[in-house]
Amino acid sequence: MLSEFPRICKLNLDTETRPRLILSMGESYYLKDLVVIFGLGVIIVTAAHRFRLPAIAGFVVAGILAGPQGFGLINDIHQVERLAEIGVALLLFGVGMELPMDRLKRLWRPILIAGTLQVVLSLVAAYMVARLVGLTPQEAWFVGFVVAISSTAIVLKDLEERGEIDAPHGRITLGVLIFQDLCVVPMILSIPLLAGAGSASPGPAMTLVRSAAIIVVTVLAARLITPRLMNLVAKTRQRNVFIMTSLLICAGTAWILSLAGISLALGAFLAGLIMAGSQYRHQAMADIIPFREVFASLFFVSIGMLLDPRYLLENMFTILLLFVGIVLGKFIVVFLTGTLMRLPIRVTAKAAMALAQVGEFAFVLIGLAVSYRLIDGSLASNLMAAAILSMLVTPILIALAPTVAAGAGKLGVLTRLLDVSTAEDAAESGRKMRDHIIIGGYGLAGADLALALKDSNIPYLIAELNPANVRRARENGEPAYYADITSPDVLQHLGAQLARELVILINDPAAIERAVKAARRVAPRLHITVRTRYLLDAALMLGAGASDVIASEVEASAEALARVLGRLQVSPEVIDSHVARMRSREKTVGD
């Protein structure tokens, strides 16, 4: 735009009119493109939402339609790409802020073990396949980078909407996604090396030294500078100043690091890590999200502009073959990862379905690879098209995950590999139990219930899908079996038709509902007690056939109320009345 100013200034205009005209032309120049992008984006994303398709796919389609290979509605793609760079920076800035040290510590096992296995296995498998089809070693490693990354935005959003973030498969999925996001950083640094830009960039040893220096500076800034700066700004109680400071940290850090040869995206990610150590990170995230979402949408639109619909049609077979290979290959890799970690089969299968796609950061990697001439245009287009297709089917895969998990749980060979007793073993042991209690889940609540039943001489069986918990229970002398209570056959082996009660104490709402329905089919008169996390799930469980639903949030609220009123010396009768009122919600919610 600045190049247009001298030509405009040659017009015979007075000094008051001239700046107004320049501003008007500048505004219309940008506004037309933005109006086209946002207009198409709103229409297509809204339509995609009705079919439960991810918004990212809608923005990519909008880019295809508006780009030069579509209807040619955008005047200057480079302007959109410059705005898209801001979106990438804010996207990585947000990822960095979502990775505070306390969260990383809680998820260290799925992050380090499951994440490492998944990424390494994906890299090796993709490399071998890419070499078989004739790609160079450098191109093959890059394909491995792309395939190894899953979509954090799509997967976490879908799991959150389904209430499965805190389910066992949700925690494993989250840990793997965090590790993948961390791997984006070394992958970005590796692209110039793979492209052979040795003369223009430092060698591997120097890259490691520089990376270590950057990490040290980042840690020092996180501990020394950022908290003091944010405290100072927060005392002003000016929200606009707080937002500007957050953006200053993001843009400033990225800019300073770019002067040292670090990419803008990587600098923004490190800035996010700096902010993650601040007590104000939640407020900063809330303030940054609107900016991030808008500019990130421009990034996905710019990706769509690179796709040629005619090319997609002409190469549909290759793209579909690549798409099927990615989805099936990633499912196998994640399933193998879970099996090596001896995770429950149902948990492993659900995590594998959730992670069987290529993520949004793959587009960042593809863009860098094209700019460094590491890959050609046809390979980039094929990878982007396959990635988009994998994103489109992700909600469908997650919806089908319970069915796939139930089928995988019936594979005897997998159960034998886990070296645990199964429900079939319980049926073949000759112990025809009657009037017993079936405990579904051997976590803290399940262990406490088992101990109480043992002390009361009440017969019981434990059904658990975590092999480690089954072995631990067996070592304690408990009648525990590796069993999926969502299966009617398993419930029959556990004697549900002769049992007194089934108590379900697992953390997966979808699995709880399936278990209730399965138990009701096997034993129509069985009393089924269910523990859920939220009161909103109670109506769903009662509708499925549960006899009694206990909502953890209600019980926690009742206990908090009782303790507070007790310290305030409120009479026990008043406390009991309030607690009874709160607990009555669980009984009336399904009415």
Structural domain boundaries in the chain: 2-408, 430-588
Place of tokens 């840990």: 175
Q: Residue 453, CB half-sphere, CA atoms under 13 Å: how many?
A: 21
Give the model's pLDDT for residue 333: 93
pLDDT tens-place string over residues 141-197:
999 999 999 987 778 767 766 767 767 788 788 788 878 877 887 888 788 888 875
Give the model's pLDDT for residue 438: 92
Q: What mean pLDDT is reported for the chain? A: 77
- DSSP letter assigned to residue 507: S
pTM above 0.75, yes or no: no
Q: Quick one: fold of 2-408?
A: Na+/H+ antiporter like fold (1.20.1530)
Q: How far apart are CA 36 and CA 66, in angstroms?
A: 7
Percent of the chain having pLDDT more than 90?
A: 13
Q: Which residues pair with 460 in a beta bridge?
A: 437
Give the model's pLDDT for residue 356: 92
Contacts 24+ apart (CB under 8 A), 515-518: 515/440, 515/485, 515/486, 516/541, 516/544, 516/545, 516/546, 517/544, 517/545, 518/485, 518/486, 518/487, 518/488, 518/491
Mean pLDDT within 472-498: 83
Give the model's pLDDT for residue 445: 87
| Confidence band for 6, pLDDT divided at 50, 70 and 90 | very low
Give the model's pLDDT for residue 1: 33
Comparing 224-233, 365-374, 530-539, 580-589, which segment has the lowest mean pLDDT?
Answer: 580-589
Contacts of 155 (CB under 8 A, 6+ apart): 173, 177, 354, 355, 357, 394, 398
| Confidence band for 23, pLDDT divided at 50, 70 and 90 | very low
Question: Over 70: is that where the pLDDT of 559 sits?
Answer: yes
Give the model's pLDDT for residue 256: 74
| Domain covering 430-588 in this structure, CATH number | 3.40.50.720
Q: How far apart are CA 408 and CA 391, in angstroms?
A: 24
Give the model's pLDDT for residue 480: 85
Question: Over 90: is that where the pLDDT of 343 sits?
Answer: no
| Confidence band for 417, pLDDT divided at 50, 70 and 90 | low
Question: Over 90: is that where the pLDDT of 395 sits?
Answer: no
Give the model's pLDDT for residue 410: 59
Give the model's pLDDT for residue 219: 60
Closest CA to 269 of 228, 316, 323, 214: 214
The domains spanning 2-408 and 430-588 adopt the same CATH topology: no
| Confidence band for 68, pLDDT divided at 50, 70 and 90 | confident
